[in-house]
Each structure stands twice: as structure tokens, then as C-alpha cells.
Chains A and B, each alone.
Chain A
Amino acid sequence: MTHHFSAASLLRNAFSGHKNWSQQFRSVEPESKYQAVIVGGGGHGLSAAYHLAREFGITNVAVIEKGWIGGGNTGRNTAMVRSNYLQQDSVKLYDASIKMWESMSQKLNYNVMFSQRGLLHLAHSVSDMQEIGRRAHAINMFGADAELLSPGQVREWLPDINLNCRFPVMGALLQRRGAIARHDAMAWGYARCATELGVDIIQNCEVTGFEINNGQVRSVHTTRGRIETDTVGLAVSGHSTHLADMAGFRLPIETVPLQALVTEPLKPVLKSAVISASIHAYVSQSDKGELVIGGGTDPYVAYSNQGGFDEIETMMTAIKELFPNYSRLRIMRQWAGMVDLTPDRSPIISKTPVRNMYIDGGWGTGGFKTSPIGGLLMAEMMAKDTVPDLAAPFALSRFNTGVLVDEGAASSVAH
């Protein structure tokens, strides 16, 4: 029923006035019973649904979305994809996701505009240099790609950069496979394929509770009725705690606002994505030409999708310091999302205290890039009730033992 997308189909449809394109995804009324229910219609939830159907043959699946699919952090992030992490388990996980991104457009028959433009992580001090040195060596050893650049090489990648800024650029960690992508397309692509495989996408449907008997989930209560199921996956960034509360368990999560903004569109000026963790800003240029800028999270718990203007000031001063030529550019649109931060800044891909309820969450600011792998791992947990090797280090139980995957480790202490 769904059209194959290609230049030829585009051409063919042009001659019929584009009147024959079919729906890319359907939003339906929920059935009373499903084999599996995924709560959350963002990148992770839709990816989980797609992979459940595609890889594990489970197609009697509902994706329940409170608003409209891709409308949470999937539609609010700055669309960077990278695996330049510190810990072995993280690098493996995030790099597995990059690999899925690399073939996603073809697999989904949906152009997600995945563009490996390279990502530079700048170092501004001796301790930054030590940190990226450790990271570069780790990333390489664990099978992803990383290079260390001298300031001169940084200038070749970023001709406009002010190397001699207040905290001079001493070097950079380059990940050539680092990429940006079209965030909405990823959600729509998964939704389209999941729909085609028989998954029901239910929008404007909010979960109000879970029915749990003897520690096993039995049904999901929603604003559109009760849905019987014995397998539930949670992929609800910004609402993980809220849903865990309903299911009766507690998470090591704090939900904080993360802001981002874009400038007016410009002709190509910035080839790669740039992150400067120590001065709190990152920037890339979208295909449309907008500079997409982000920074640190606001520090306090908030569920208002609104952050403080002080964070915006921090970002703008940092960008102007790094790229003085950008000073006269104008900020066009600004927004915030809610991110679920864990103590070790690593995700939770895990079974939960409720039998047959699984969680793929706590991604902090890294959820977009890992939608493919997060969804795949959750699908496997839901299909087999076993934890895949890649997910094992990210179990909820690590917050009992203290065996964390600490991504904040190298930057959280004194010098």
C-alpha cells in the first residue's frame, strides 16, 4: 500500500499532480488488546516498534503517543550524531547507533539526510587536552574513529574560528563519522515503515496508569481506554519518572530543560559540527542554512519546556567568542526540551521491577542520535525478555551497585 520513494516515483507523481501519494503513517483508534505496547512516539519508541515488527516479527504492536509523533525531544534536538564518548560501553553503544544511521535512509526508504560532516570537539586548556587525549585513544581502541587535531588543523576545518579567543583553542578531537541528520525525517521514516509492517500508531493518547498483577504488567490505561497487553516498553524522555511513578518504581533521573536555537538561514559557512564543552556551546549548520546552536542544560528540575534566558546568554557569548564573524547574525527561533539526566550521564536500557515492562530512557542530551540502537535494544528485550550484551552495562541495577558508566567522570573533577 505504501509507495516506494524514489526519484522515479517523485517524477511519476509530479505528472498526476501529487494526488496519488498515500498516507505515510496512520493514526488510528486503539484496539482493546495488543501483544506489545510502546509508550512514547518519539524516535526511540517508533524505532522500537519498527524493530519489533521487522527484526522480531511482532507486529501486533501499539505505539501510544500523548501528543503527535516526534513532537517531544525528537523534534526539539540539534540533530547531532556522534560516538565520541569516554567509556568503552558507551562508545560501543553509540557507535552501533552510528552504523545504523549510515544505512537508515536506504533501509527505511526515507531520506533522513544523514550527513557525516565531521564533528570537532574543541580543547581550551591543558586539562581539556588531557581529556580529549584520553577520549581519542579510547574511541579508537573500542572501534570507532577519532583523531586529534592541532590548532592549525582546526583552522583548516573551521576557517572562521578564533583560535586565540579568551580560552585559546589548543586542539580538537575530530570524529569524521560524526554527523547531522534531519530529525523529523527519522521519526517519520520509522513511523512509515512501522505502519507498513502493521504497527498501530495512536496519537493524542495519554497513559493514565498501569494495571499490574503479581508484579507483571497486565494492561495500560489511557485517555482513550484500557489496552490489554503483557509487554510494555517505556520510551518517554521527559516523562520517565512520571510513568515509573504510575508503575510503582523509582528512577535515578532528574528532568531538566535543555535549550537550543537557530539563526536565520545563511549560505554555507560552517562545514562541520563543533562542540566546545568547556565553554558550553555547540553549533552546526543545517541543510537549510540555519546555524543550529545549543549549550548546557538548565540546572534545575522543570517540566515547563521553558528555560532561563541566562543559558541563552551563555551560549551566545560562547559562540561569539569562538566565531566573531557570527556576531551580526540573528537568532530566529529558540525552544527548549526536557531531558532526563541520570547520575552518570548514561542511559537506562533495562528491565524494570515490573515484569515485562522495559525502559529505554535517561538519555540526557543524547537521545536523538541513539534512536536506532535504543529502539533495537528495547525491541529485543520486549521480544525475548533477555537483555542484549550491548545494553547490559546500562541496567537500572547499576544504581544499586554503583557500577556506573560514568560519562561525566573526566570533566567533573578538580585540577
Chain B
Amino acid sequence: MTQKYRLATGGEVDRNQKLSFTFDSKSYSGFAGDTLASALLANGVSLVGRSFKYHRPRGIMAAGVEEPNALVETGEGGYREPNLQATTVRLHKGLVARSQHRWPSLRFDVGVINDKLSRFFPAGFYYKTFMWPVKGWRFYEYFIRKAAGLGACPDQPDPDSYDQCFAHFDVLVVGGGAAGLEAAIQAARKGARVCLAEQSDKPGGQLLHHPDQAIDGLAPAVWIERVLDELTAFDKVTILPYTTVTGNYGHNYFTAIQHLRGAVSSSSQKHCPRQRLWKIRTKQVVLATGAHERPLAFSNNDRPGVMLADSLATYINRYGVLPGRSILIFTNNDSAYRLAIYAARAGAEVRVADSRNGSDGHWVNQARTAGIRIDFGKVVVDTTGQRKVTGAKVMSLSSDGTTVEGTVETIPCNLIGVSGGWSPVIHLHAQGHGALTYDDDICAFVAAGGSKEAPTVCVGAARGCLDLKVSLEQAAKVGAAAAFKAGFGKGEPTKTSVAETVKTGAFSPLWLVPAPQGSRKGYRKHFHEFQNDSTVADIQLAMREGFDSVEHLKRYTTTGMATDQGKTSNVNALGIVAQHSGQDMKEMAPTTYRPPFTPVTLGTIAGRQHGALYSPERKTPMYDWHKDNGAVFEKVGDWLRPWWYLKPGEDQHAAVVRECMAVRKDVGIMDASTLGKIDIRGPDAAEFLNRVYTNAWLKLGVGKCRYGLMLNEQGYVFDDGVTTRLGENHFHMTTTSGGAPRVMTWLEDWLQTEWTDLNVYLTSVSEQWAVISLSGPKARDLLANLVDIDISKEAFPFMSMKAGTVAGVPARIFRISFTGESSFEINVASRHGFHIWKTLAEAGDDYGLTPYGTEATHILRAERGFIIVGQDTDGTTAPMDLGMDWIVSKNKGDFLGRSAFNLPVIAEQTRKHLVGLLPKEKAKLLPEGAHVTMKRNEPFPCSTLGYVTSSYDSPILGHTIAMGLIENGRDLIGQNIFARNLDGSSIEMTVCEPVFYDKAGEKSHA
């Protein structure tokens, strides 16, 4: 198919580079420089999408990010992307685009039945029905959900990558139109670090499609080149095309999304990230974000072929596309007359219907001179056509603007260019909680503060200034002032660019075209919000029903909640409300502007942080050995820890049993490197420990180890571990693996803020030490071969520490045990960890040395009744609940959490005690987390006595064991109570002391 609507010359497209693409499987061609929208228009494709609610046929209305209608899906498989505006998709060779939200096809969409029945589906209809039967909503909802939604989610993972970067600038200029360019160059000339972000492929903004007005006597295109040349010559200037500043998060922190591939397909550039998220901190910001043209509200104003006037001008001048030969322009202001001039120049038949009484503006006069017919006081009341507009019905507007009168003239046309005025793009200003004010001159909201002549941050059209000359003057001042505020120059602009003033006639607000007397459809087809099909009738209904606050109205009618976020509809909706309720626009406030300005790809915000980079994987120095020896890893926080080691033909259960038995009978080796370790030094180190632990530390001998509990200020257990006195003023603290960072922060907090009298220094050394635990009856014999110190029972008793060498490497060896067996925890510098482990593993063959993982560790410790903080305690467990009164010093003075023991919750309440639980049926494993009742099968709902915290099958005992936190548990020892399954059935068990093996605790001393 030829591009029959492409003009022979003109535009920024490269007619030598033909690009083929498909839309709904049909092949077309466009040119390099096209958007999908311009290429579709060039090929005469007017029907592009269907509206959300009524499935009305929709075409292309705009030329940029404000497009509400032309939503398409592009790409295949993992590259598929729904809900893209055809107006912002750059055309590339082989682009595959499809219409969406229609069935079975775009032309014949059964959903259009909703349009035929639209009178039954006014705003908020779903609140009023679908209520019966009581459970019926899920049935209705199934169909409503299928009918709702727009595009479909991709069904494969995204193959593309995304980048992020941080940037600091002195002046961030958002928008590369005339005002943005002038502001940027003024700031750059002062030496400021300037960033100019432009959302489209190249700077220029409106100048790119309004070529008639000279700047500094130059054609706009030449002026743009001149400014860009000068800007790029500055080292400190960053120009970011294809970059949309999407969010203002306050304190001059902005996010911007840069499209890195321009007009190239995703799949052809896999090596290059697709988008980059810029996190920008800037000293000053200039918002030169332009303005969006507003449509006009008349009946059937949504037919394909009804387009925004300036967007139509864009297609003619920037893309060389004239999508129809017979154009009616409907406007309430002068700006649309430029379209009349361009269209006539391109050979179209043009007429203008202007709702105003007249205008003596420059462009109006120019159009008149060109012989274009202009009818003042006329409005379009309706359109004709099905999937494309074929004509407009025009009537006269009464002098007070409240009715239409006279005869209906039907004007045949295949395009209607509408202009209802301009809404400055104040989103970024408003997102930063900037104040807004209504400007009567342009009938729109603008940034408050400053003045039109001396604006603060918004300049040009973004400040409501639609005149090029004044915009450039503003921009020069604001650009130079921004540089000055950032510390550059004196605030005076230099070599200011100058344009001629253009005289324009006054705006006349036209928030809606009155429906003709006796019209049956009234305002039901006056769309003001196109994508969601919100009509003037909907607003009227909402107000009738009491939703008169604009925020209520927005939620009730869904106005402004479409993917375009109301860029073309929000101000019009307010105007309609104001007109309906007789309020002054000055008293109205727009709904909150929420980030992002344009939709942002989820993957771009996630950046590189996914998969292995989602969160760093922490591996101990011995990781490779574990991997090579069958380890299955448990992810504990960021750490990868051996869970168990599988031998060929073994399952998890067999492996864990083998590991447990090896520790009890021979010797096991475990990687305990993940333990938190804190080096504590200083003359007050012992006093410090005395304050953070519940027990006494002053008299601990050098070379001795002690177990400690740390409480939070609520008196509840917070962490535990063994701390060793290495010297008079030097301690080595261990914490739980997961608790290490939190304990470090906690200790620093107390030391720095409350106990400034203490002379103590803390260093986190968790990563500096590899820790290898040898545990079991043969541990000593094995280790004795490799050390240079006496490790006999007598010379090296339980709960002490010695420094020496292991296999020639300096080591600290601790006689502490978490398994209940005689154990040696060998600490060596991390870089030696692998070597020592390997040496031990090889030397251990003769002793039956078996590596064991976290699962076996947990069983072994439970057999001995050792707790795991966080499993056998929760955030409400006091030391006394654990039967650990012995570890709470009564006479050493204050320590963290101590005063909480006075609180009634600890002093007076019934507490849950940690007790042992033995199922009557010896092989029965209690579910961890199961709650407990006194009576068998007590019907649910009922109250709980507590719950099972740990439950294992003990290989050495040959039966299951468990622990639980049970109300008054210690008083129940010897009694039978019941753990309850999810299905309510009961497991009988006997309460006992929480020690199951080696009750005297002798083996660890061996």
C-alpha cells in the first residue's frame, strides 16, 4: 500500500529510508523519522483503537504524550508491550503493532454493544446493581473483568536490560522547545552544569512544526541548530534526547527516563540497555514543558478524524502527512488558525468555525487573506460518520453561550481540527507541591508565584505564555537567574534571542458546546475524557448525585484516571463543573497531579536489581568446597549456607540422619562463618558488656567465654551469643547470623548517644574470620594432629579460648558448643578458611569426619534444648520465659531491658514458658507453629495455650522431640496436652523439661 496521505515534500522524515511495518498483521511502510501514528495516518489508517467502556471506534487525536485514544500493543513474546500510544512509538523497520481491547477484530468489535446500551451504563452504574444474589458479584465480576483492562500482559519474562544512574546538575532544564533551549543556553553561558532533557527525539518543541516565525531573523530550524551547536560546545552541558522527566520527589530530586534505543527495535539491540532511569539532584530547575492543547466537548467529538488542531499541524509540517483533504477547524482561540494556513498551503480544503464573535489576530488575518472561509459565532454540535468522520453539523452559538440556535448546517469533511485552548504542563511543578492559580487570559491553571513576565520555574507555554517573543524573554531571564542561584554569573541574560510579537485575539472559554434543544442524546456523546468514555452527561449525573467535589467527581466518573492521566481532559472537566454549578474557575482547584508524568516501565525502576543482583548473595570462603561436596544450600538472609550434604542415592532425610549421627558418634565439621562477630576494645569494654547483656561480665577471666542474652528495652530477648575475653580490655562478641548488622547498630547507638562516658571501640569483623566448628567425641583427636598447642581437656577446658596455629595458620580456637558435643570453633583469617577446611576434611577421613549443615545443627541443638532466637522466642519472650533466670543478674545494676521487668506484662501476667513436648506416639512429628489446647479436639474457634516452636525427628533418640512456648508451661510438666492440626485433629503430647539428650550436659565438657 502506498502512503497516499504523505505530502510530496516537507517534514523531518527521510523519504529515502523506507521502513516497513505491520499493524494488525497488515503491511505498511513509513519513513525514518515517523512515529507509528504519523505512518498510520500517511497510510490512511484512521481506526486505531477502541475506547475502554463503550468500545467506540477511535483514531489518532494528538501527536504526543497526551494521546488518549490510539493505544496499541507492539512486539512479540517477551518483547510484547501493551498500551503504547501510537503517537510516542518511533517507527522502526519490522515494527509489529496490533490494536487491542477488541474482539474479534478492530473493525468488528462485539464490545460496541456497550455503546448501543450506553444509556444503561452511565457513570457509576456498577455501584447500583450486581448486588444479588449475595455471592453473585464474583459471577458478574468475571465478565466485567474480561471486558475491562486494555492490553494484555506479556506472557514471558522481559529479555531486555535496564540501567540506572545518578546525576548532579546546577540547572536542570526540562523541555527542549524554544523556551527550554534559551534557558539552557543562558545558564550554560554562565558556566553552570546544565542538563537539558527533551522527551522527543530532538529538541525544538513547537518550533519543529511552526516554521513561519523567525528568531533572531533565522528560520526556527536554523536557530535550533545554532543553539544546539553552542550548547554542545560546553563540556558541562548534558543534552538528553528521548528523555522524559517523570517525577518531582521534592528537594530538587527528579527522576527521568531515557529511551536508549531511539527508533530501533528491541530485539535487534540486545546488548544495549533499553531504558535508563536518571536520578537527578539539581540545584535549580527550569520547567519549559510546554502546553497541551485541549479538545472541545460536542456530540460525537471522538470519531476518528477529530484531531487536536496543533497535532494536525504537527503531522503536516513535521511528518509531511496530510491525513485528509477536507478539513473543518473548530476553535475558540487564534492558535488553530496556523493549522488553517498550513493545511491550505498543503492543498487541503479548509473551513473554520470559531465560537467567538471575531478576532483581529495576525494568524486570523493571514487565513482570511488566504481566502479561507471563517464563520464566527459557530460551533460544531455533532459529527457524522461511523469509523471515520464524514461531516460536521454546525450551528450558531447564542450570545450568552448557553444554547445553540439557528439552522443546522452539515459540512462534509474528513478531518476536524479542534482547539479548546491550551493547558500548561505544570505536572512537575504541582508534584513538588507547587501552588497553582487560574489564569483568565488563557483559561487554564498555571504555576503560582512570580508573574508572567518574571516567572519562577515554569517558563514559556508551561507558564501560560503562548507568545514566542515573550517566552524567549522569560526563558532568558529565568535561565540566567537559575545559574545565578546555583552560584554562576550575576543573573543577567546575555545575547538574548529575539522573535517578533504576534498579535492574537482573546480567548473565549467554551467548556462545552450546548446540546441542541430537544436533542435526544443530550450530553451522552459529549466526551471530555476519551479513553475512559467519560461524558458531560456523566459529570452532570455525578453532580446531581452529590459528587460535587472534583476529587469525588474524578473517582465517580473516572475522569483523568486513564493512562494519559487526564492531560487533555482534567481542565475541561473542571470547566464543565464550573459552568454546571455556576462556580468561578478561580475557586476551583485541579485534582492532585501524581507522578509519573508519563507511564514508566516497571523494569526501568527495577534496573539491574533482579535475579542474582536482586540482593547480593553472600558466600563464605568455603563455599566452593560445599558446592563440590553435594551441599544443598539454605538461603539465610543474603547468606548461602549448607543445609545438608547429599551423597549419591541419598535423600534429605537420610543425609540429615547421617550428619547428626556422625556428630554424636564421631566428629562433624560445620561452616559457622556467617556468625556475626564484633571486636570490642577499650578500657570500659567489660562495663559496656555488663550494660548490654543480662549477666555479669566484669570478672570474666582472660581467655574465658561466656554466653549472653541481649534484651531490647521492652525486656524481650533480642539476640544471643558467646562473647570471649581476649585481653583485659579486649573482647570478641558473636551474634546470630541474621542479627549481626542490627546488633552492631544497636551497640553503636548506645555507645554514641547514651553512654558517652564509656571508652569503647567497636569493629564489625564478621567477614574477617572464617569459622569452622569441629564437633563430636573425636573432634579433639582429629584437631590435635594439626595444632601447636595443648588442647587436652585439662589444658583447654570448656568455655575457654586459645590462640595457636592450625595447619600452620594462626587461629583462635574456642571451646564452645552448640551441638552438646565436645566442640572446637576454629577462627582463622577468611583468606585461610578454604585451606584450613580442606586440610581438616582430608585429615578427618580416619575419624569419620562428616560435614553437616544447618538442618542437622538445628536438630542437635534442640536435642540439648539450646534455643534459636527468633524461632524459640518471638518479639515478646522474656529471659524468665525461657527458664533462664540464672542469666539475669540481680545485683549488677542497670542493663538494657532490665527496667521493663517492672511492667505488669512481665511482672504480673501469665507468661508463656519454653518447655519440651514429647508426642505420645513416638514417631509423630508435631507441625511447627501448631497451637496447643488442654483438651483433645476442643472445637474451633477456641483459645490457644501456646504453640510449637521447634519440632524434629531425633536420630540419636529414635523419636520425635519438640519445644513450645506454652502458657504456664513449667507448671504443666508431666501433663498431657494437645497440639492441633490445621484440620482440627489433635496430637497428644507430654510436657517436659526442654532438654532431651545428655541432660547433665557433660558431653560438651568432654
Beta-carbon contacts of A1-43 to B below 8 Å, as 1s and 0s?
0000111011100110111011111110000000000000000
Complexed CA–CA distance, A203 and B29 (Å): 57
Interface SS of chain B: loop
Residue of A nearest to B151 (CB): A266
Taking CB atoms, residues of chain A closer than 8 Å to B120 are: 10-11, 14
Complexed CA–CA distance, A415 and B596 (Å): 39
Taking CB atoms, residues of chain A closer than 8 Å to B873 are: 413
Taking CB atoms, residues of chain A closer than 8 Å to B556 are: 184
- Quick one: which of B126, B158, B594, B906 contacts A111, CB cutoff 8 A? B126
Q: Tell me, yes or no, whether B250 is within 8 Å of chain A by CB.
A: yes
Q: Tell me, yes or no, whether A120 is within 8 Å of chain B by CB.
A: no
Interface pair A415/B870, CB less than 8 Å apart: yes
Known A-B contacts A267-B149, A404-B876; the reply to A327 vs B602 at CB < 8 A is: yes
Interface pair A141/B148, CB less than 8 Å apart: no
Closest CB in chain A relative to B639 CB, distance in Å: 11
Taking CB atoms, residues of chain A closer than 8 Å to B714 are: 402
- Quick one: which of B149, B160, B636 contacts A288, CB cutoff 8 A? B149
Taking CB atoms, residues of chain A closer than 8 Å to B144 are: 287
Q: Tell me, yes or no, whether B146 is within 8 Å of chain A by CB.
A: yes
Per the CB 8 Å criterion, the residue count for chain B at the interface is 122
Q: Tell me, yes or no, whether A248 is within 8 Å of chain B by CB.
A: no
Q: Tell me, yes or no, whether A316 is within 8 Å of chain B by CB.
A: yes
Q: Tell me, yes or no, whether A138 is within 8 Å of chain B by CB.
A: yes
Taking CB atoms, residues of chain B closer than 8 Å to A131 are: 929
Q: Tell me, yes or no, whether A306 is within 8 Å of chain B by CB.
A: yes
Q: In chain A between 149 and 170, which residues have their CB closer than 8 angstroms to a CB of chain B?
A: 160, 162, 165-168
Residue of A nearest to B564 (CB): A332
- Quick one: which of B145, B544, B612, B940 contacts A23, CB cutoff 8 A? B544
Interface pair B944/A10, CB less than 8 Å apart: no
Taking CB atoms, residues of chain B closer than 8 Å to A406 are: 874-876
Interface pair B610/A324, CB less than 8 Å apart: yes
Closest CB in chain A relative to B143 CB, distance in Å: 11
Interface pair B545/A325, CB less than 8 Å apart: no
Interface pair B737/A415, CB less than 8 Å apart: yes
Complexed CA–CA distance, A308 and B155 (Å): 31
Q: Tell me, yes or no, whether B165 is within 8 Å of chain A by CB.
A: no
Interface pair B930/A137, CB less than 8 Å apart: yes
Complexed CA–CA distance, A203 and B594 (Å): 23
Taking CB atoms, residues of chain A closer than 8 Å to B558 are: 288
Interface pair A136/B903, CB less than 8 Å apart: no
Closest CB in chain B relative to A321 CB, distance in Å: 5
Q: In chain B between 866 and 916, which residues have their CB closer than 8 angstroms to a CB of chain A?
A: 868-871, 873-876, 900, 903-906, 909
Taking CB atoms, residues of chain B closer than 8 Å to A7 are: 129-130
- Quick one: which of A147, A184, A335 contacts B555, CB cutoff 8 A? A184
- Quick one: which of B119, B606, B927 contacts A317, CB cutoff 8 A? B606
Beta-carbon contacts of B590-608 to A below 8 Å, as 1s and 0s?
0010111001111101110
- Quick one: which of B83, B127, B138, B561 contacts A116, CB cutoff 8 A? B138
Task: Choose, from B546-554, B751-759, B952-960, the stretch at the interface.
Answer: B546-554
Task: Choose, from A50-58, A102-110, A364-372, the stretch at the interface.
Answer: A102-110
Q: Tell me, yes or no, whether B795 is within 8 Å of chain A by CB.
A: no
Taking CB atoms, residues of chain B closer than 8 Å to A266 are: 82-83, 149-153
Interface pair B134/A268, CB less than 8 Å apart: no
- Quick one: which of A141, A329, A403 contacts B601, CB cutoff 8 A? A329
Taking CB atoms, residues of chain B closer than 8 Å to A18 are: 119, 122, 537, 541, 544
Known A-B contacts A5-B128, A125-B635; the reply to A328 vs B80 at CB < 8 A is: yes
Q: In chain A between 103 and 140, which residues have their CB closer than 8 angstroms to a CB of chain B?
A: 103, 105-106, 109-111, 113-116, 124-127, 130-138, 140
Complexed CA–CA distance, A410 and B552 (Å): 40
- Quick one: which of B551, B615, B903 contacts A167, CB cutoff 8 A? B615
Q: Tell me, yes or no, whether B376 is within 8 Å of chain A by CB.
A: no
Complexed CA–CA distance, A113 and B145 (Å): 12
Beta-carbon contacts of B911-939 to A below 8 Å, as 1s and 0s?
00000000000000001111100000000
Q: In chain B between 420 and 437, which residues have their CB closer than 8 angstroms to a CB of chain A?
A: 433
Q: Tell me, yes or no, whether B941 is within 8 Å of chain A by CB.
A: yes
Known A-B contacts A267-B149, A330-B599; the reply to A137 vs B927 at CB < 8 A is: yes
Complexed CA–CA distance, A136 and B930 (Å): 8
Interface pair B944/A88, CB less than 8 Å apart: yes
Complexed CA–CA distance, A288 and B558 (Å): 10
Q: Tell me, yes or no, whether A303 is within 8 Å of chain B by CB.
A: no
Q: Tell me, yes or no, whether B565 is within 8 Å of chain A by CB.
A: yes
Interface pair A412/B875, CB less than 8 Å apart: yes
Which among A69, A124, A267, A410 has the greatest number of chain B C-beta atoms within 10 A?
Answer: A267
Interface pair B929/A185, CB less than 8 Å apart: no
Residue of B nearest to A330 (CB): B599
Interface pair B929/A135, CB less than 8 Å apart: yes
Interface pair A115/B141, CB less than 8 Å apart: yes
Complexed CA–CA distance, A357 and B119 (Å): 48
Complexed CA–CA distance, A188 and B556 (Å): 10
Complexed CA–CA distance, A125 and B605 (Å): 26
Taking CB atoms, residues of chain B closer than 8 Å to A287 are: 141, 144-145, 148
Q: In chain A between 375 and 401, which residues have their CB closer than 8 angstroms to a CB of chain B?
A: 401
Q: Tell me, yes or no, whether A265 is within 8 Å of chain B by CB.
A: yes
Closest CB in chain A relative to B595 CB, distance in Å: 5
Interface pair A137/B982, CB less than 8 Å apart: yes
Q: Tell me, yes or no, whether A148 is within 8 Å of chain B by CB.
A: yes
Beta-carbon contacts of B81-96 to A below 8 Å, as 1s and 0s?
1110000000000000
Known A-B contacts A130-B929, A266-B152; the reply to A414 vs B947 at CB < 8 A is: no
Taking CB atoms, residues of chain A closer than 8 Å to B607 are: 313, 317
Known A-B contacts A317-B606, A414-B742; the reply to A267 vs B153 at CB < 8 A is: yes
Q: Tell me, yes or no, whether B609 is within 8 Å of chain A by CB.
A: yes
Taking CB atoms, residues of chain B closer than 8 Å to A106 are: 131-132, 134
Q: Tell me, yes or no, whether B59 is within 8 Å of chain A by CB.
A: no
Interface pair A320/B717, CB less than 8 Å apart: no
Known A-B contacts A266-B153, A415-B737; the reply to A133 vs B929 at CB < 8 A is: yes
Interface pair A334/B146, CB less than 8 Å apart: no
Closest CB in chain B relative to A210 CB, distance in Å: 26
Complexed CA–CA distance, A167 and B742 (Å): 21
Taking CB atoms, residues of chain B closer than 8 Å to A246 are: none
Interface pair B635/A71, CB less than 8 Å apart: no
Interface pair B125/A10, CB less than 8 Å apart: yes
Q: In chain A between 274 and 311, which residues have their CB closer than 8 angstroms to a CB of chain B?
A: 285, 287-289, 304, 306, 308-309
Q: Tell me, yes or no, whether B388 is within 8 Å of chain A by CB.
A: no
Interface pair A136/B83, CB less than 8 Å apart: no
- Quick one: which of B83, B141, B876 contacts A330, CB cutoff 8 A? B83
Complexed CA–CA distance, A409 and B717 (Å): 11
Interface pair B929/A331, CB less than 8 Å apart: no
Q: Tell me, yes or no, whether A98 is within 8 Å of chain B by CB.
A: no
- Quick one: which of A25, A147, A168, A403 contacts B635, CB cutoff 8 A? A168
Interface pair A332/B546, CB less than 8 Å apart: no
Q: Tell me, yes or no, whether B739 is within 8 Å of chain A by CB.
A: yes
Taking CB atoms, residues of chain B closer than 8 Å to A70 are: 552
Name 26 interchain pairs, CB-CB below 8 A, sorted by A.
Answer: A10-B120, A18-B537, A24-B545, A25-B546, A27-B546, A105-B131, A106-B131, A115-B141, A125-B636, A126-B634, A126-B636, A130-B949, A131-B929, A142-B941, A166-B614, A266-B83, A267-B151, A308-B249, A309-B279, A325-B155, A333-B596, A402-B906, A404-B905, A410-B874, A414-B736, A415-B636
Instruction: Give me the interface of B with A, judged by CB distance under 8 Å.
Output: 52, 79-83, 119-120, 122, 125-132, 134, 137-138, 141, 144-146, 148-158, 160, 247, 249-250, 253, 255, 279, 433, 522, 537, 541, 544-549, 551-552, 555-556, 558, 561, 563, 565, 592, 594-596, 599-603, 605-607, 609-612, 614-615, 617, 634-637, 714, 717-719, 735-739, 742, 868-871, 873-876, 900, 903-906, 909, 927-931, 940-944, 947, 949, 980, 982, 984
If A138-B931, A289-B148 are given as contacts, then 9 extra A-B residue pairs at C-beta distance below 8 Å, sorted by A number, are A5-B131, A113-B137, A136-B929, A309-B253, A316-B603, A327-B601, A328-B81, A401-B903, A415-B637
Instruction: Across the A-B interface, give the 9 residue pairs with the lowest CB-CB distance, nearest first.
Output: A289-B149, A133-B929, A143-B941, A414-B739, A327-B158, A402-B905, A327-B603, A324-B157, A134-B929
